[in-house]
A and B are shown apart, each in its own frame.
Chain A
Amino acid sequence: MTLAASSPIPVTVLTGYLGAGKTTLLNRILTEDHGKKYAVIVNEFGEVGIDNDLVVDTDEEIFEMNNGCICCTVRGDLIRIIDGLMKRKGRFDAILIETTGLADPAPVAQTFFMDDDVRARTRLDAVVTVVDAKHLKDRLEDSPEAEDQVAFADVILLNKVDLVDAAELAAVKLEIRAINPYARIVETERCKVELDAILDKGAFDLNRILTVEPDFLTDDHHHHDEDVRSISLKAGELDAEKFFDWIGKETQAQGAKILRLKGIMAFKGDPDRYVVQGVHMLIEGDHQRAWKDGEPRESRLVFIGRELDWDALKSGFESCRV
């Protein structure tokens, strides 16, 4: 057994614009009896009125790794705190990281790609973004951070649905889908949600990717003037060598504009599903499980980003076909 072999601790990142209901959710997670013990890393200690020795207060400390790549900003404070938490392994089951309302989620996510110790000891389970059904539209218009938080989400907790009517609710869901087609949307009032619906979901919800319609957003589907958009690509079997060559070049060239990417690949001659995910220029992949009998061997890849060269992504992906 080595360091890497000990089971990684799941980490949930909780984001959300000010007033969306993040603190309500956090307090629920900390007080309710859900059978799991969380170590919680918060930014505004005062807001969580819970006396708990596993709640850690921190100042977001973002810095660039020395290789000069602007995409490689990480959260130094998280690296330190996770290192400290590992000295108390066994006292908690999972880690929850709350980010401030104005935070760009990229450095948090990138920390889980960039830092070897964090990678070896933890597993980014999901980015959960709390949004306010009533005010999301305004936030998306006046705040790029709110847009980024939606774009990064694996799960979107659509809160305060009691404050909007059916038409408004449908409209806000369309807005979310336009930015992020693969996130799972969970509708709630006052963050009342079964916690197991959002916590410990396993890397990310792959099923969502499989149900996203290819080319969900082409120009004719373009609902509003949001600048974050997504593209969902679909193909049959791919040539692994061509794919890695292409995705490597694409993430280098367009990395600054790519917020997230996720996919399931069917490589020729490979009996296993291959899962990739990325943040900006950082990308990682792994074999997930064997393709099942009768399961169509399809490759799916979703990009979410700003001003991406959509046509180039589409043609590049297709050139990786076997």
Chain B
Amino acid sequence: MPSTIDLAFGAYVVGAEFLGARPIFALGDGTVRLGDDPTAMRTVFAHEGGILAASLTLDQKALVTSGDDGRVVSIAADGTVTLLAEKKAKWIDQLATGPQGAVAFASGRMAWVRTADGKLLEFPHDKAVGGVGFLPKGLRLATASVDKAMLHWVTAKGDPVELGWKGGHTGVTASPDGRFLVTTMQETALHGWRIEDAKHMRMTGYPAKVKSISWSTKGRWLATSGANAAILWPFVAKDGPMGKSPMQLGPMPKLVTRVACHPSEEVCAIGYEDGLVVAVRIPDQAEVMLRQPSGEPVTALSWSPDGLRLAVGLESGRAAVIDIRD
């Protein structure tokens, strides 16, 4: 049976991650909590207001957070806070971490990339930036905006590429092989483009907005929330999911709010609107229950780097660290 450590923080859990073996939770009250011993949690005061977004660095040595105090900071496993950027009076609600220590963030109509050497690059938009992300090599910044997604060269010279699709785009991700770009939308749909020829992919049929997405190992599937099951779109073929039906994992009479694919196995962890967490093996859909419902949405969900533990965060400020080993 999996074993669970229950934690309670009293503020909305924005991010639940692992720095190596150490769980780290980013909260709506501006604090970050480190550890998995309920009696000896380390509290780090990272933001004066609330934390709006959190993203693990690719080397998994620090958690980057952004807040409504206009700050972007990184928190190391020992609790050290480093200020990466500050934009006074802005709410920094979009955040992404990329290769070579780069961090992208956005507020209103401006996106920025902070490179590891501390340089801050600006990417102005004519409409609000709804999401930021990096292409796999980190050479290009992807942004989601109104009626389009964009690809900007981070440091190289060159005009940005616009990928048009009407509507509000609220998040963006590139497939791990760098061939596809997918946005979450204000509508209950995803939209995608094959980058080489800007060919469209419409991914529709959701009853609710898609707010959580996760690529499975080797980028074979894109797992998504927004339905009464995790919806997984196949990305192995040349055309991506075009003309193919998605797979449904963990169907329940309740909405999926978070998905997190396992770092090395074809397994997807699924969090629901009532606090239930299950893990499902993708090839045979074998299901294991990991957390009982507690009546509140799962708001954060991640695997440890070794894939043996799962960090869960909930809207009320409750959290859990689940060890899946028998």
Contact = CB atoms under 8 A, between A and B. Distances in A.
A26 B148 CA distance: 35
B209 A117 contact: yes
Contacts of B246: none
B208 A63 contact: no
A61 to B, nearest CB: 4
A66 B186 CA distance: 9
A59 B168 CA distance: 15
A64 interface: yes
B166 A56 contact: no
B17 interface: no
Contacts of B108: 58-59, 77
Contacts of B69: 53
Contact of A65 (B29, B186, B295): B186
Interface stretch (A86-94, A269-277, A297-305): A86-94
Interface stretch (B49-57, B152-160, B259-267): B49-57
Interface string A35-69: 00000000001000000010011110101111100
B28 A88 contact: yes
Contacts of B68: 53, 56, 84, 88
A45 B89 contact: yes
A3 interface: yes
25 contacts: A2-B295, A57-B89, A57-B90, A58-B108, A61-B127, A61-B146, A63-B146, A63-B168, A64-B166, A65-B167, A65-B187, A66-B185, A76-B128, A76-B130, A76-B186, A80-B170, A81-B91, A83-B93, A84-B50, A84-B68, A86-B12, A87-B28, A88-B29, A88-B50, A89-B28
B86 interface: no
Interface residues of B, number: 39
Interface of A: 1-3, 45, 53, 56-59, 61, 63-67, 74, 76-77, 79-81, 83-84, 86-91, 115-117
B297 A3 contact: yes
B37 interface: no
Contact of B49 (A53, A64, A67): A53
A76 B146 contact: yes
A160 to B, nearest CB: 31
Nearest to A45: B89
Nearest to A120: B208
Interface in B26-54: 28-29, 48-52
Nearest to B165: A66
Contacts of B93: 80, 83-84
Mostly, the B contact residues are: loop
Contacts of B167: 63-66
B91 A84 contact: yes
A80 B106 CA distance: 12
Given A2-B273, A63-B146, A80-B170, 13 more contacts: A1-B296, A61-B146, A63-B147, A65-B167, A66-B189, A79-B186, A80-B130, A87-B12, A88-B49, A89-B12, A90-B11, A91-B50, A115-B186
A58 B89 CA distance: 10
Contacts of B12: 86-89
A25 to B, nearest CB: 22
Interface in B1-37: 11-12, 14, 28-29
A88 B67 CA distance: 11
B137 interface: no
B7 to A, nearest CB: 18
B323 interface: no
Given A61-B128, A76-B128, A116 B208 contact: yes
A59 B128 contact: yes
A59 B124 CA distance: 14
B244 interface: no
B218 interface: no
A66 B187 contact: yes
Contacts of A65: 167-168, 186-187
Interface in B125-160: 127-128, 130, 146-147
B109 interface: yes
A281 to B, nearest CB: 17
Nearest to B30: A88
A251 to B, nearest CB: 21
Contacts of B14: 87
A91 to B, nearest CB: 8
Contact of B109 (A59, A88, A90): A59
Contacts of B49: 53, 88
Contacts of A58: 108
Nearest to A5: B295
Contacts of A67: 187
Instruction: Pick the 3 closest A-B CB pairs, nearest first.
Output: A87-B28, A66-B167, A88-B50
A57 B93 CA distance: 13
A34 B214 CA distance: 45
A56 B128 contact: no
Nearest to B146: A63
A56 B147 contact: no
Nearest to A77: B128
A50 to B, nearest CB: 12
Contacts of B91: 56, 81, 84
A300 B266 CA distance: 59
B287 interface: no
A212 B209 CA distance: 40
Interface string B184-208: 0111010000000000000000001
A160 B25 CA distance: 52
B75 to A, nearest CB: 17
Contacts of A61: 127-128, 146
Nearest to A61: B128
> Which of A63, A87, A115 has most B Cβ within 10 Å?
A87
